[in-house]
Amino acid sequence: MKHIYNDISALVSNGEKQLAVLIDPDKIKLDKVSGIIKKVNVSIATHIFVGGSTVDRYATSVLVEEIKRHTQLPVVLFPGDVTQITSRADAILFLSLISGRNAEYLIGKHIRSISKLAKTNLEVISTGYILIESGKETAVEKVTGTEPLSRTNVQNIVDTAKAGELLGMKLIYLEAGSGAKLAVSKEIISCVKKAVNIPLIVGGGIRSKKQLENAYHAGADLVVIGTVFEEDESFFDNL
Ligand code: 1GP
């Protein structure tokens, strides 16, 4: 059943905040998955995202299968590449990197994914993916060969998000990049939230309860946390 987007929207309408744990197939050992997912299951997390900028060809499929054995939470692909598509997940963020001008990441890889997607039952969720300058070069920049948007030109970020919405995208994802030095600022989140009428995802560089609360308070509907949980599996115990 394809209800993940509707569930996200319903929670947004109720003013309930959501949290996705990002698991990178390149950074997790399969024999650790059950223990990690047990911790996620008892945390405030509402979703598990799976993906990374550079991932071995079959690693995602095997990892998602193992995750699904241990949780009822929705597993959503957050793919860095077409090779990360697997029918074992529930949904896929169909990301278009609208902050960049690399046609491959705007539409090219999407075209190449169609025959693969057709063989799956994945719920496909069109997502405007906006990379924002965060103090140092991130993996997304390197892999996609694109420049992030300046964090001081807030109007440009707002206009980019609004253009994504008007193009029909269902979600906006403000991304500082994995392990970012500077998370997306409260001002940016709040201005984008005021401008768009679709759910707002924020991720990258969020490493503390305070930063998480700030993001929610500014208007993030769903926050993505990866690195800090990779480094400290007890991170969610204190939320
Ligand atoms: C990266 O937004 C996600 O794509 C999460 O970032 O790893 O810094 O939490 P972190």
Does position 239 have pLDDT exceeding 90, yes or no? no
Judge whether residue 162 has pLDDT over 70. yes
Alpha-carbon distance of 47 to 224, in angstroms, equals: 9
Q: Maximum CA pair distance of the chain?
A: 46
Q: For a pLDDT cut of 90, what percent of the chain falls above it?
A: 93
> 3-class DSSP state for residue 2?
coil
- Contact between residue 21 and residue 75 where contact means Cβ atoms under 8 Å apart: no
Q: Is 21 touching ligand 1 by the criterion CB < 6 Å?
A: no
Amino acid residing at 54: T
Secondary structure of 16-49 as H, E, C letters:
CCEEEEEECHHHCCHHHHHHHHHHHHCCCCCEEE
- In tens, the pLDDT along 108-148 reads 999 999 999 999 999 999 999 999 999 999 999 999 999 99
Q: Out of 3.90.1510.10, 3.90.1260.10, 3.40.50.980, 3.20.20.390, which CATH number does the structure's domain 4-234 have?
A: 3.20.20.390
Calculate mean pLDDT across residues 95-120: 98
Q: Indicate if ligand 1 lies below 6 Å from the C-beta of 28.
A: no
Ligand 1 proximity of 79 Cβ (cutoff 6 Å)? no
The CA distances from residue 137 to 100, 144, 146, 173, in Å, are 14, 12, 11, 18
Q: What is the pLDDT of residue 54?
A: 79
Task: Determine how many CB atoms are found less than 10 A away from the CB of residue 6.
Answer: 11
Quickly state the pLDDT bin for 56 (edges 50, 70, 90).
confident
pLDDT at 133: 98
pLDDT-derived band at 39 (thresholds 50, 70, 90) equals: very high
How far, in Å, is the centroid of ligand 1 from the Cα of 225? 5
pLDDT score of 1: 65
Is the pTM here over 0.85, yes or no?
yes
Please report the pLDDT score of residue 186 as a whole number. 98
CA 239-181-128 angle, to 5 degrees, is: 80
pLDDT value at 52 more than 70: yes
Q: Look over the chain and give the mean of its residue pLDDT values, rounded to a whole number.
A: 96
- Contacts of residue 215, defined as CB under 8 A and 6 or more positions apart, other chains included, come to 183, 184, 186, 189, 202, 206, 223
Residue 83 has pLDDT above 70, yes or no: yes
For the stretch 197-207, pLDDT in tens is 999 999 999 99
Q: What would the pLDDT profile of 207-238 be if each residue is shown by its tens digit?
A: 999 999 999 999 999 999 999 999 998 898 87
Bridge partners, residue 200, by sequence: 172
Q: Around Cβ 12, how many Cβ atoms within 10 Å?
A: 17
CA of 123 to the centre of ligand 1 (A): 22
